[in-house]
Amino acid sequence: MQNDIFGKCVKFTSAREIMAAGVYPYFKRIESAQGPEVIIEGQRKVVVCSNNYLGLTAHPKVKEASIAAIKKYGTSCTGSRFLNGTNDLHEKVERKFARFVGKESAILFTTGHHANLGALSTLVGKSDIVITDKLDHASIIDGCRLSMGEMVRYRHNDMADLERQLIKYPSNGKLIVVDGVFSMEGDIANMKDIVRLAKIYGARVMVDEAHSLGVLGETGRGIGEHFGMESDIDVLMATASKSLASIGGFIAGREEVIHYVKHMSRSLMFTASLVPAAVAAIDASLDIVEKEPERIRQLWANTRKMKEGFNALGYDTRTSDSPIIPLTIGEDMKAFQMWRMLYDEGVYTSPVVSPAVPEGQAIIRTSYMATHTDEHLDLILDAFEKVGKQLGIIPGGSKRVKSKSQKHRLKNDWSFPFTKGQMSLITKRWIKNLWSFKQ
């Protein structure tokens, strides 16, 4: 058949080739609850690629709340929020979240991705300009593309470039959209200067708090609390799938803005509402975040230990300022090789290769939880020390002081089955398309 629409599917062999190479890191089947340790392929792994920052996914109160919601409301609302899919739990958690982040109102979407799609495609009109950081999350880019406005981008955290973009559009409505914490780089948006420029040039500010809610600020309220400028953020998006141990996405802001989004957003109106068990988990998680601030303190203690440990080993941790700590590895092939070697040492990580990052600057993305113990963290550092030295990523000597309580042993070496040239051909055909939104 000529021009068969499925032809591209038949020709797509890259992922199968990576699988055959034994270095396929995606869609790993987890056979246990999500925590600092999980079971994969029958083996226990220490997780350093989760966004479960406060460790609430297995908290007894969160699980009990979900079970109680199922008993009362059943398993589904069977419709969209706009029609029959809103219950009193949805409205309760919206009010609670709005109070938590200091906004007048909030609306709960089924996912964080839906929240960004819905807010941006609704708020940015035909003559409006939406201005994004070049490293903003894919859901922000997708939401901008769905809008009727024009999307322009500025260089990552480059305030001079942001100002250059703002100057170009003196009479248009403008919305600056930025991640609070960037999901791969782990650095924090320069909110003080973003807000300053927004006020000068008449723009509104929207922040995606996916990786900053429950992480930044003394009480986990996000980047606004971190910088002491909550009232300067006009619209806030936050996912419930990270620190809040559930699924879903909030949009919060002034009452009239949320009222408009609520009645105009297609990704809210034309998808099923969040199931009661998930909403109840959010409700319980918000209570725990407020009542147990020591979790945030422990998260940052773990973060400092790992940042200092990696730096002492000689790793390049880039500009990370959060529990997301990327380690520069170099060649894509080496990143996949390192992922597999760490995996065999019992450490489950995430490799990120070009073009998600510049050529030759592949990373292993690591992220930490309040529930990681010192033994977990020591095992992770030991594995990275051993594998990093074997691959020539870090020098033979290091300044790291090892814990006296370490009881684990590292496993045998693993040999990589492909040459650099072979691995390059195998990976890039697929990864380039997968991460094309970053270009």
Structural domain count, the chain: 2
Instruction: Please indicate, yes or no, whether residues 240 and 225 belong to a single structural domain of this protein.
Output: yes
Final residue belonging to a domain, choices 259, 291, 323: 291
Q: Which of 13, 17, 41, 37 is nearest to 27 (CA)?
A: 41
Continuous segment of H or E residues that includes residue 91: helix 88-101
Is 251 found in the same domain as 341? no
Mean pLDDT for the stretch of residues 329-334: 91
Q: Assess if residue 1 is contained within a domain.
A: no
In this predicted model, what pLDDT tens digit does every residue of 223-237 receive, in sequence order?
999 999 999 999 999
Distance between CA atoms of 142 and 26, rounded to whole angstroms? 22
Residue from 318, 260, 239 nearest 52 by CA: 239
What is d(CA 232, CA 226) in angstroms, rounded to the nearest whole number? 12
Q: How far is Cα 134 from Cα 158, in angstroms, rounded to an integer?
A: 10
Residue ending a domain, choose from 232, 257, 291 = 291
Question: Quick one: pLDDT band at residue 358, thresholds 50, 70, 90?
Answer: confident
Residue 13 lies in a domain: yes
Distance CA 342, CA 338 (A): 6
Q: Which domain holds residue 72?
A: 60-291
Residue 93 lies inside a defined structural domain of this protein: yes
Assess whether 133 and 261 both reside in one domain.
yes
Are 183 and 112 members of one domain? yes
Domain shared by 89 and 218, yes or no: yes
**167 shares a domain with 41:** no
What CATH number has the domain bearing residue 342? 3.90.1150.10
- Same domain, residue pair 179 and 38: no
For residues 313 and 392, membership in a common domain is answered with yes
Do 115 and 201 fall within a single domain? yes
User: pLDDT tens digits for 80-100?
Assistant: 999 999 999 999 999 999 999
2 part of a folded domain: no
How high is the mean pLDDT of the chain? 92
Across residues 308-319, what is the average pLDDT? 96
Q: What is the set of active-site residues?
A: 183, 211, 242
Q: Would you place residue 438 in the very low, low, confident or very high pLDDT band (cuts 50, 70, 90)?
A: very low
By DSSP bridging, strand 129-133 and strand 150-154 are parallel
Q: 212 and 116: one domain?
A: yes
Determine the pLDDT at residue 355: 78
Q: Are residues 39 and 122 both part of a single domain?
A: no
Question: What CATH number did the domain enclosing 266 receive?
Answer: 3.40.640.10
For the entire predicted model, the pTM comes to 0.91
Domain match, 231 and 89 both: yes
Q: Are 54 and 289 in contact (CB under 8 A)?
A: yes
Residue 330 lies in a domain: yes
Q: What are the pLDDT digits (tens) for 164-183?
A: 999 999 999 999 999 999 99
